[in-house]
Amino acid sequence: MAAGSQPGEPDRRAGTRRLAPGDRPKATVDQAKDACLNLLAVRARSRAELEKRLGEKGFRLEVTAAALDRLTEVGLIDDSSFAEQWVHERHTYSGRGKRALQRELRDKGVAPADAENALAIVTDDAERARATDLVRRKLQTLPRDLDRDKAVRRLVGMLARRGYDQSTAFAVVTSALDEAGLDRTPAAPRSAGRSRAAVEAMTPADTVDETTGDTPEPETATLRSPRRPVPGDDQAAVDLVRRKLRSMSADLDRAKATRRLVDMLARRGYSPSTAYAVVKAELAEADR
């Protein structure tokens, strides 16, 4: 028997494969319980996590189930408590948003009902406050002369990676930048591969009616709005949002509406700060 092997466990030398459930047919329930206790001494774990680890240690399925049932009876395995602890620690100390927490609980095999109850701990106000704290800390590391739009993209991206939804991220970032007094210094926007100057310098001959293929007369060309507005033209963004709003369901959740409209403007080349400002204003106008 190799050094470090336990009774009922096959020899395990460096480079050997990971065991599969049933590879240790003589392993007992007590051995499985001890393995669980060793794992729980490191950190709390869900039942699904422990079941997976016991399988990797070669315990038979019936031995694993019996060991987990006994530990559940004495309260050492409790997915509901585990989920609450996980959400509290990951949100408080790691700054994770609800989306990331929900995904992590799902990956750990926590039942949807237990996950939902645990996530309720993180209120909208608490999530926004935590996001604000993250942004303020990150702002201290950004160059003071950084373009506002670049700062918005970096900060929103940081929050998105931590699991915050886009509408919350934009609102928090915009508010934090205003509070920090970071002035807007827009860079030259682009549209469909053209620079702003190139778009503005387009002659009527460059504007072709996509439905007929004809080149419009000069006076009609100046009146017709291009299908893809020039980023930086706030009025064009307003018109896009208003048209899109007319086609959206009136009972659509505001956060979802914000995400859809901001994404639409972003795909058309508008900066995050412009997109969010326009969408926020138009939704407020629509609520009146």
Question: pLDDT tens digits for 215-253?
Answer: 444 433 333 333 444 444 577 788 888 888 888 877 777
Instruction: Identify the CATH number of the domain defined by range 29-77.
Output: 1.10.10
Compute the distance between CA of residue 205 and CA of residue 194 in angstroms, rounded to an integer: 16
Question: pLDDT tens digits for 4-55?
Answer: 444 444 444 444 467 887 778 888 999 999 999 999 999 999 999 999 999 9
Cβ atoms within 10 Å of 176's Cβ, excluding its own: 20
**Which pLDDT band holds residue 163 (cuts at 50, 70, 90)?**
very high
Residue 79 identity (one-letter amino acid): D
Q: 165 near 255, Cβ under 8 Å?
A: yes
- pTM exceeding the 0.85 threshold for the entire prediction: no
> Do strands 194-195 and 190-191 pair parallel, antiparallel, or not at all (unpaired)?
antiparallel
DSSP line for 52-65: HHHHHTT--HHHHH
Q: Shortest CA distance to 270 belongs to which of 176, 149, 159?
A: 149
Query: Taking the domains of the chain in order of start, what are their residue ranges?
Result: 29-77, 78-122, 123-187, 207-287
Hey, do 29-77 and 78-122 end up sharing a CATH topology, with the first three levels equal? Answer: yes
Angle at 10 between CA 6 and CA 14, to 5 degrees: 95
Mean pLDDT of 169-185: 82
Compute the distance between CA of residue 279 and CA of residue 287 in angstroms, rounded to an integer: 12
Number of H helices, E strands in the chain: 14, 2
CATH 2.60.40 is the classification of domain 78-122: no
